[in-house]
Structure 1
């Protein structure tokens, strides 16, 4: 059998779960619990939450950042989004890819300026512009650094961050 036909007939390779609203229950339970009512989308003051695949909400960091206000959790009546303030809203940190303008010797500090918790710092270097250094122990996962990057070099990395991840969260 042709390998490409087998891949087509066998379906898609499952990818990582989408980023759901902060404090969401695990993905399988979220998909079964969320009614796609859009109440959390309407409640989100920054516009971070968008309608994703199947009409379910996703956190779109290309559009906005999270303020951790909890409005989405308060608006959710199904229990798909919890609000445990002792738990991490997400378990991710960030990385800066090689496409970063500073790595190309072009002065840019947009991501660091957007970071309210100073998780991205720029250290001077001889013979070039300062390069960004990420401290994922300080990163709170708000995503404010992602959208303003002019070359989309700031990326989320699942499973890291400054907060202890709750195993019940995606």
Structure 2
């Protein structure tokens, strides 16, 4: 059975071919990341969402809270995770649970690009940063509220966001 151009069942995404949206804090040049939401409500999920992000050495994701509980999995690199006032290191293959609405940040303390997947317990997520996230100049960001008459891939949604 197909719904909105998708077969019921497996929806896939290739992290290597995702278009990543680059974001940063205007007042802190070390807060810079590239991110994508390959799975969330607009791509066909009902109960969860997934974020993929990359952070270069010395940079961080940016302190923020999320509206849903998150599990992060480090795919490549070495991270310092700060959750509320607790700090810990994570390397390839390690995971951490981040409760919803608890301030947290991920910093790349390694020498290679940090690559992380985050799994959220909701199909839509709002992340509220301590400073506006550029280039959109908003503190509250998250799964893009783009919906249509059919489900879309992340790269289709990315094109709508950047106007391609």
Same fold (TM over 0.5): no
Larger-gyration structure (1/2): 1
Q: TM-score, normalised by structure 2?
A: 0.32
Greater helix share, structure number: 1
Q: What TM-score results when the alignment is normalised by the length of structure 1?
A: 0.31
